[in-house]
Amino acid sequence: MTSKKLTYRNSGVNITKADSFVKFISTLARKSGKSGDFKNIGGFGAISSVPKELKDPHIVTSTDGVGTKIEIANDLNKFDTIGIDLVAMCVNDLLVQGAKPYLFLDYISIGKIDFNKLKNLIKGIIKGCETAECKLVGGETAEMPGTYTKGKFDIAGFAVGLVEKKKILNNKIKNNDLVLAVPSNGLHSNGYSLVRYLIKKKKINLRTNKFLKTELIRPTKIYVKELTRVNEKNLINGCANITGGGLVDNIQRIIPKNLGAEIDLNKIKTLKIFTWLRKMGISDKEMLKTFNCGIGFCLIINPKNLYSLNKYFGKKFQPYVIGKIVKNSKKIKLSGKISW
Please check whether residue 199 lies inside any domain of the structure.
no
Confidence of residue 143 (pLDDT cuts 50, 70, 90): confident
Please count the structural domains in the chain: 2
Which residues constitute the domain of residue 238? Answer: 178-186+221-335
Alpha-carbon distance of 173 to 316, in angstroms, equals 26
| pLDDT value of position 39 | 62
Confidence of residue 125 (pLDDT cuts 50, 70, 90): very high
Please check whether residue 320 lies inside any domain of the structure.
yes
Q: Is the pLDDT of residue 193 over 80?
A: yes
Residue 182 and residue 328 in one domain:
yes
User: In angstroms, what CA-CA distances link 91 with 102, 239, 241?
Assistant: 9, 14, 10
Whether the CB-CB separation of 199 and 128 falls below 8 Å is answered with no
- 187-192 average pLDDT score: 97
pLDDT in tens, 148-160: 888 899 999 999 9
- The larger pLDDT score, comparing residue 141 to residue 283, is at 283
pTM of the model: 0.90
Please check whether residue 1 lies inside any domain of the structure.
no
User: In angstroms, what CA-CA distances link 210 with 69, 196, 213, 340?
Assistant: 17, 16, 5, 21
Whether the CB-CB separation of 336 and 188 falls below 8 Å is answered with no
Alpha-carbon distance of 104 to 138, in angstroms, equals 7
| pLDDT value of position 16 | 66
CATH code, 65: 3.30.1330.10
